[in-house]
Amino acid sequence: MRGPSSLASRASPALNNLPVKTFRQANHKRETPSKAKLRKAANQPSSNTIVAPPTGNSSSSTSQLQNSNLFSISSSPSSAVKFKPCLNKPIDHRYIAQILLRKDWFILLNHEFKAKRITLNAQFVVSVLQNQESPSSSLNFYIWVSNIKPSLAKDQSVRGVFGNNLYRKGPVVLSVELLQDIRESGCKLTEDLLCILIGSWGRLGLAKYCAEVFGQVSFLGLSLSTRLYNAVIDALVKSNSLDLAYLKFQQMSADNCYPDRFTYNILIHGVCRSGVVDEALRLLKQMEGLGYWPNVFTYTILIDGFCNSKRVDEAFRILDTMKERNVRPNEATIRSLVHGVFRCMAPSKAFEMLLRFVEKKVLFSKLACDTILYCLSNNSMVRETAAFLKKLGSEGYLPDSSIFNITMISLIKDFDLNEACEIFESFIEQGVKPGFNTYLAFIEAMYMAGRVEEGNRFLDLMIKDGLVSNIYSYNMVIDSFCKAQMMDSASQTITDMRLRGICPNLVTFNTVITGYCKAGEVGRAMEVLVMLLEHGFKPDIFTFSSIIDGLCRVHHIEDAFDCLTEMVQWGVTPNSVTYNILIRSLCAIGDTSRSMRLLKKMQADGISPDIYSFDALIQCFCRMKKVEKAKNLFFSMLKMGLVRDTYLYSAFIRALCKSKRFDEAMEFFFSMEANGCIPDSYTCNFILDSLVQHSHLEEARNLLKSFNWRRQFIRQG
């Protein structure tokens, strides 16, 4: 290594004194040069040797561990006997899966059950079904459970998991071989099983197959029933075969099967989804005429259908009808209404309408207010969100914690910081507990605004609520300090972690190294690198890339290249980000020849350049008025299928205008939109000014007309 800023020269004392086993990785076929030096140095006795703790533990805690028996493990056999054997043996999913794939699966499962190696309960059945790769295995196991304990086969959780298996890994068709296998096992195809199979076919869009199997029910040893009709009608609706569903509906009476509330709900759902809400109302009247009163599911389907058809007033009338008939709306009803109103109206008008109903106490429920807040946040309506929150807060409303978190994060991004903090603190005082990400968003906003004391106060509250308790939460707090360039606080947090018994990991050190490098304090970054090595971690791509970036920021380019060399010696392969840092830094000092060599080396090493690899070089060539070289790179980028951006086009247009090559500049300008890049006002003004200054008035006039027409077209679209 050459310079004092290089990785090896700064970290060499720690590297040379670390134990060899710390960096010994499994399956390494060869030693890199740096590792060979490391082993040689480690084998030499030294009075200044730093004993590295085990991976992930701090050096301060190592001495405590050495002097304590808290974590000691006895090597005597007697110590192992003290552990109580586990009474509930874990399920051997692999063994059961092997049984289910055999031809004698039914006999073997019975044998396991009689030997009490299988305990039948809903949890066990669900677990086995979830771990089957083959849908036929799931089917076999469900059939066996139905035969041994029929009540379990009717359990909703079991039916749900089984149905999902058939849908995700199916289809399972009723072949002659399958039916014969079921009969030979001493079982039979039940109505329950057929309903689940039909449901899976419907979800898979197999409408014709559903109808074919349904037409042969008698050959399967089953009698037609309203339940089977409901299953096939539901499957046909789900597979978008509404006409076929109606045909089956009309055939019911001929088979002495009569529609019930479920039948009508299924059909009403189908026609509402198709946008034929008037037909849904006709079915509703027919349903009521048969003595089946609509339930909450019926009304929820209708509300959703009216909203989808943009008939919002009728959706609210359904809500009035529910109130008259003492049918209480459920969560789905409220969510369907609120989301539906926002979906079919302009967000501001939707909020005005819903607000009127909230003020009339028609929709004044916690769930309704939560859903309105969610929609406001989702539409970035921060002023309305803040006003609505204040109004509700004054009436004693406390939002759901997840909705509160979404709302607060929305406010902190796009609203006045003081007002957002006022709302945030007022709800905390009322007992709302913000989540970790919400606290962190406010802490970051405070730090970035220079309001460190307030940020620290929120951090103290977050710690008090127990939200900073593991390595992941600490790493995110450290990252927040680094973003605000509060590096002393970031380093202090590592010390606090260790005092609380939480050991920093590689991400912790990489975060702090990146923070110091971005702040231009490469020396401090090297000190953290030494800590990283002392803790037994191996630098990775993020470590090296951050240090290379830091060295480039302080204009130590040669040291950055030395770091790149050592990176490879450590067995860490540079990626496009690493190369882009160096290319960008070389372009910043005008060394385009070396940048080009680096770009070629990058490709030779099998690393595909991205748009940023070309961007720095092209813009540099344009600034140097070497337009032809820039164009060659641009066309190379096009051949690689890389997406162009507005900045590249703007750089070309500026360079061409400065070279008085206006025809080419105009050509690039008009090709921007064809390639998916919308010209910005800066680019348009630059080319217009250049044309006017050089008396190309007609071209400027035509360009202005073209740009105005495009703006109008985009605005209308």
End position of a domain, from candidates 588, 609, 643: 643
In Å, what is the CA distance from 497 to each residue of 447, 588, 711? 21, 40, 55
- pLDDT score for 676: 67
Residue 519 CB contacts under 8 Å (≥ 6 apart), including other chains: 485, 487
- In a domain, residue 126? The reply is no
Indicate whether 72 pLDDT > 60. no
Higher-confidence residue of 706 and 44: namely 706
Rg of the chain's alpha carbons, rounded to an integer?
Answer: 35
- pLDDT score for 348: 92
Q: Number of structural domains, the chain?
A: 2
- pLDDT score for 300: 94
**46 Cα distance to chain centroid:** 50
Alpha-carbon distance of 334 to 475, in angstroms, equals 39
Closest CA to 651 of 616, 700, 696, 701: 616
In Å, what is the CA distance from 609 to each residue of 125, 478, 588, 612, 613? 51, 32, 19, 8, 6
Alpha-carbon distance of 155 to 135, in angstroms, equals 19
* 615-625 average pLDDT score: 84
- With H, G, I as helix, E, B as strand and everything else as coil, classify residue 678: coil
For 344-355, give one letter per residue: b (16+ CB within 10 A) or e. bbebeebbebbb
- pLDDT score for 88: 53
Confidence of residue 712 (pLDDT cuts 50, 70, 90): very low
- In a domain, residue 478? The reply is no
Report whether 485 contacts 452 (CB < 8 A): no
pLDDT in tens, 276-299: 999 999 999 999 999 999 999 999
- In a domain, residue 565? The reply is no
Helix (H) or strand (E) holding 596, with range, is helix 592-604
- With H, G, I as helix, E, B as strand and everything else as coil, classify residue 352: helix
- In a domain, residue 625? The reply is yes
Q: Which residue has the tokens 């790769």?
A: 133
- pLDDT score for 364: 59
- pLDDT score for 645: 67
pLDDT in tens, 522-568: 999 999 999 999 999 999 999 999 999 999 999 999 999 999 999 99
- In a domain, residue 615? The reply is yes
Widest Cα–Cα separation across the chain? 98
If you average pLDDT over each of 35-49, 402-416, 690-704, which comes out highest? 402-416
Looking at residue 134, the DSSP 8-state letter turns out to be S
Indicate whether 27 pLDDT > 60. no
321, HSE (Cβ side, Cα atoms, 13 Å): 16
Number of H helices, E strands in the chain: 41, 0
- pLDDT score for 688: 79
Residue 125 CB contacts under 8 Å (≥ 6 apart), including other chains: 141, 145, 152, 155, 158
Q: Any alpha helices (H) in 640-696, and if so which ranges? A: 646-658, 662-674, 681-693
End position of a domain, from candidates 615, 643, 671: 643
Indicate whether 669 pLDDT > 60. yes
Q: What percent of the chain has pLDDT over 70?
A: 84
* Residue 77 in tokens: 């056999």
381, HSE (Cβ side, Cα atoms, 13 Å): 20
Alpha-carbon distance of 172 to 510, in angstroms, equals 50
- In a domain, residue 524? The reply is no
- In a domain, residue 158? The reply is no
End position of a domain, from candidates 643, 676, 697: 643
Report whether 207 contacts 236 (CB < 8 A): yes
Report whether 536 contacts 55 (CB < 8 A): yes
Indicate whether 433 pLDDT > 70. yes
Looking at residue 604, the DSSP 8-state letter turns out to be H
The residue range of the domain holding 681 is 660-717
**498 Cα distance to chain centroid:** 31
- pLDDT score for 366: 83
Confidence of residue 46 (pLDDT cuts 50, 70, 90): very low
For 420, phi then psi, to 5°, come to -60, -45
Report whether 325 contacts 291 (CB < 8 A): no
Q: What percent of the chain has pLDDT over 90?
A: 46
Report whether 552 contacts 585 (CB < 8 A): yes
pLDDT in tens, 585-612: 999 998 989 999 999 998 898 898 888 8
* Residue 90 in tokens: 């874990």
Indicate whether 79 pLDDT > 70. no
Same-domain pairing of 618 and 667: no
Question: DSSP assignment of 576-590, as one string?
Answer: HHHHHHHHHHHHHTT
Helix, strand and coil percent figures for the chain, each rounded to 5:
70, 0, 30
Residue 697 CB contacts under 8 Å (≥ 6 apart), including other chains: 691
Helix (H) or strand (E) holding 184, with range, is helix 176-184
Report whether 489 contacts 526 (CB < 8 A): no
- pLDDT score for 644: 65
* Residue 203 in tokens: 């979800």
In Å, what is the CA distance from 217 to each residue of 192, 204, 244, 252? 13, 20, 17, 14
Indicate whether 34 pLDDT > 50. no
Question: Which one-letter amino acid corresponds to residue 227?
Answer: R
Report whether 271 contacts 280 (CB < 8 A): yes
Alpha-carbon distance of 244 to 205, in angstroms, equals 13
Question: DSSP assignment of 15-77, as one string?
Answer: HHHS-GGGG--TT--S--HHHHHHHHHHTS--TT---PPSTT--HHHHHHHHT--TT----SH
- pLDDT score for 490: 94
Average pLDDT value over all residues in the chain: 81
In Å, what is the CA distance from 398 to each residue of 265, 390, 393, 409, 432? 35, 11, 7, 17, 7
Confidence of residue 707 (pLDDT cuts 50, 70, 90): low
Same-domain pairing of 633 and 674: no
- In a domain, residue 104? The reply is no
Residue 237 CB contacts under 8 Å (≥ 6 apart), including other chains: 202, 245, 266, 267, 269, 270, 273
- pLDDT score for 702: 73
Same-domain pairing of 668 and 717: yes
Residue 625 CB contacts under 8 Å (≥ 6 apart), including other chains: 655, 658, 659
* 18-37 average pLDDT score: 36
Rounded to the nearest 10 degrees, how much is the dihedral formed by the CA atoms of 658, 661, 666, 667?
Answer: -130
Q: Any alpha helices (H) in 255-327, and if so which ranges? A: 261-273, 277-289, 296-308, 312-324
Report whether 386 contacts 411 (CB < 8 A): yes
pLDDT in tens, 158-199: 999 999 999 998 898 888 888 888 888 888 888 999 999 999
* Residue 539 in tokens: 């630098």
pLDDT in tens, 124-156: 999 999 998 889 899 999 999 988 888 888 889
Question: Which one-letter amino acid corresponds to residue 155?
Answer: D
Same-domain pairing of 639 and 671: no
* 473-485 average pLDDT score: 95
- pLDDT score for 467: 93
Higher-confidence residue of 62 and 417: namely 417
Residue 30 CB contacts under 8 Å (≥ 6 apart), including other chains: none
Same-domain pairing of 602 and 636: yes
Alpha-carbon distance of 627 to 38, in angstroms, equals 49
- pLDDT score for 362: 57
Indicate whether 373 pLDDT > 80. yes
Report whether 684 contacts 707 (CB < 8 A): yes
Helix 541-553 crosses helix 576-588 at what angle (to 10 degrees)? Answer: 0
Report whether 511 contacts 478 (CB < 8 A): yes
